Structure 1
């Protein structure tokens, strides 16, 4: 053989294209720590509880007022309305943050955000209907719900640091 011999490689022009599924944009992103994710969930719960304090107070006061023979008055109704509005405002604010930055208020405070596994933005629809809703609905099923509710957060201890809802929605939580 001389140096000018070229070896031709036969390719099938009708073969399906191949993609390396193991390589994605998330390799460039730093995953959020397990403790940071837990802190964000706890902060979101705390903020939601604070927003709902008037509603909680009204729920506690109503039975006590009936037991005392006192008719719930306008003050109680004001507490219910204010609590409901504060809770609604908190939920809407979180939805705006998720839509804009992939962050809830707790995630924003701790500097982490939700993105798709390829690193692109996780939209509000994906967050609500694919990431959140399936787990919420599954957790309402008797017996199965308890298992799902325990399994979902415990899966974060895997090497991938993905919860069940991350696997369902194809999302990851990264440092912002």
Structure 2
């Protein structure tokens, strides 16, 4: 049997008898809520009606959950909701900017160290030949090492260390360095538990880094991914693929 339930002026929805019984036991529905089903002459108090049904059918009388238990259950629910409060748009933007800046800074220093008048002219001449450009870059790096300039090597190691640090943090804590500094984390969307290496690194980060690097398709995908941040649950495309969400970190 389907019951229409109301609480004061608010309609609670339509539920079957099993849902109503369970709702009364766990405090989701109140004995004072009103109910109506096909065949009933008028709306009745839910608690009284369910007792009448129980007597008529010989079923056990549905006893509502004690108020103290209901209050405790609601307190636990609210604590759980606070534990998984969504990260703000500002926090997510700040975390992304920090992560980008930490990787781009050493790459910029490396580029400045490599560039001289001769190398710049060679790169311009070879800009339509990626293979030749890579060969020229390697020769420039070898030239700098021969001269004893370790800037490129140091910046390369710094980039590797930053990437490894982010991979470890994401796998263990669900946080990149930027997310760690801004107090937010990546968790499973279903229960708020740790997302792990596959979801945070392979699906959210590595997979989308590859796809977004594809010519023509990548920029469109990146733009669409950014726009999804304005969803109510603030889950971008990589969150939907990995079944994750970004929340504030408590404690």
Normalised-by-shorter TM-score class: 0.7 to 0.9
> Shift of the alpha carbon at 1:4?
6.5
Aligned partner of 1:84 in structure 2 is 156
SS in 2 for 1:73: helix
Matched, 1:135 2:208: yes
Describe how 1:1-176 pairs up with structure 2 within 5 A. Answer: 3=55, 5-6=57-58, 27-28=81-82, 29-61=84-116, 63-64=119-120, 72-74=143-145, 75=147, 78-117=150-189, 118-176=191-249
Q: Which structure is larger by alpha-carbon Rg, 1 or 2? A: 2
Q: Go from structure 1 to structure 2 and tell me whether the alpha carbon gap of 1:3 and 1:161 turns closer, same or farther (over 3 Å shift).
A: closer
For residues 107-164 of structure 1, give each alpha carbon's deviation from its aligned partner in whole angstroms, at most 9, with x where no partner exists: 1110001111121101122222211233222223332222101011110011111111
RMSD (Å) for aligned C-alpha atoms: 3.0
Asked if structure 2 preserves the Cα contact closer than 8 Å seen for 1:54 and 1:82, the reply is no
SS in 1 for 2:187: strand
> Shift of the alpha carbon at 1:95?
1.3
Asked if structure 2 preserves the Cα contact closer than 8 Å seen for 1:135 and 1:148, the reply is no
Paired with 1:57 and 1:76, the residues of 2 have a C-alpha distance of: 16
Paired with 1:133 and 1:43, the residues of 2 have a C-alpha distance of: 18
**TM-score for both structures, normalised by structure 2:** 0.55
Asked if structure 2 preserves the Cα contact closer than 8 Å seen for 1:32 and 1:174, the reply is yes
Q: Go from structure 1 to structure 2 and tell me whether the alpha carbon gap of 1:59 and 1:76 turns closer, same or farther (over 3 Å shift).
A: farther
> Shift of the alpha carbon at 1:54?
3.9
Paired with 2:121 and 2:214, the residues of 1 have a C-alpha distance of: 34
> Structure 1 or 2: larger strand share?
2
Paired with 2:113 and 2:56, the residues of 1 have a C-alpha distance of: 89
**TM-score for both structures, normalised by structure 1:** 0.76
Asked if structure 2 preserves the Cα contact closer than 8 Å seen for 1:52 and 1:86, the reply is no
Paired with 1:114 and 1:164, the residues of 2 have a C-alpha distance of: 14
SS in 1 for 2:150: helix
5+ residue gaps, structure 1, are 9-25
Asked if structure 2 preserves the Cα contact closer than 8 Å seen for 1:53 and 1:83, the reply is no
